[in-house]
Amino acid sequence: MSLKNWDNKTWLSSKDYISAFNNFLIRHIKLDKNSSILDIGCGRGKILGNITSKLRLIKKPTGIDIEQHKDRDKRIIFYKTDAISFLKRNRKKFDLILLKQTIHFLSLKEIKKLLSLSKNCLNSGGRIAIFTLATSKNEIPTFVKMKKKLNKSLKRDQKILRLINDLYPGGLSKTFSFKVKISRQKYVEMIKNRYISTLLNLSNTEILKGISEINRNYRKRLNFKDKLICLLLKN
């Protein structure tokens, strides 16, 4: 089962979220109209499209994903492929290579290869920006089964971050935080659509049981912070 709904009809696709995320990037990475950007796991390309307009990029940014969405942003150059295959044949240089909540889909061996190839594709002074869910004090609303799977995933994310820090000491760690305000009903719809990878392998029965827990344990309006760890690696 593929993750097709992570950036579709959720706060992740909202204009406020995308604008806040790109403001964060611009604040911590020197980007301007001449910047060349690659987004690995770009989804529908909405983040790249927004930053294209915000910075008035001269060169269209590049997005790659294993899913080819019909409603992807037209302001990007898109390739349907996996990251390692793309980077092996790529001859362009980038000022920013973005990996937003995608690196956990790879094995540790693949992560090592991906980062090595990415470093070779950076311009002088370029950055790799790796975003993962905050591994502590995570506020995402969950039900029991989802919580167990999320905690297991976050422990693996901690292992991945330690690996990256060992391979590339000197990287900067930042935190991106977005205040989410959403109705419980809409959040339930997101759970039905398996908007997060920890829900992918749950059965329909487990999802329905989880929805009952959400309806029972949370108010009609949900307010929480979606927090991401950002690890910045330089060339």
Q: Is the pLDDT of residue 62 over 70?
A: yes
Q: Between residues 235 and 113, which one has the greater pLDDT?
A: 113
**pLDDT tens digits, 34-61:** 999 999 999 899 999 999 999 999 999 9
Q: Read off the pTM.
A: 0.92
**pLDDT tens digits, 73-98:** 999 999 999 999 999 999 999 999 99
Whole-angstrom distance, CA of residue 195 vs CA of residue 187 = 9
In order of their start, the domains of the chain are: 11-180+225-234 (3.40.50.150)
User: pLDDT averaged over the chain?
Assistant: 93
Residues 106/197, Cβ–Cβ less than 8 Å: no
Reduce the secondary structure of 33-55 to three states and give it as a string.
CCCCEEEECCCCCHHHHHHHHHH
- Per DSSP, helices labelled H in 14-127 are 15-28, 46-55, 83-89, 108-120
Q: Assign 120 to helix, strand or coil.
A: helix
**pLDDT tens digits, 179-208:** 999 999 999 999 999 988 899 999 999 999
- Residue-level pLDDT at 137: 86
- The pair of structure tokens assigned to 57 is 């990029």
Q: Is the pLDDT of residue 155 over 70?
A: yes
With cut-offs at 50, 70 and 90, classify the pLDDT of residue 2: very low
Q: Between residues 71 and 20, which one has the greater pLDDT?
A: 20
Cα dihedral: 107, 97, 196, 226 (round 10): 120
With cut-offs at 50, 70 and 90, classify the pLDDT of residue 162: very high
- Residue-level pLDDT at 143: 98
- Residue-level pLDDT at 4: 52
- Residue-level pLDDT at 8: 54
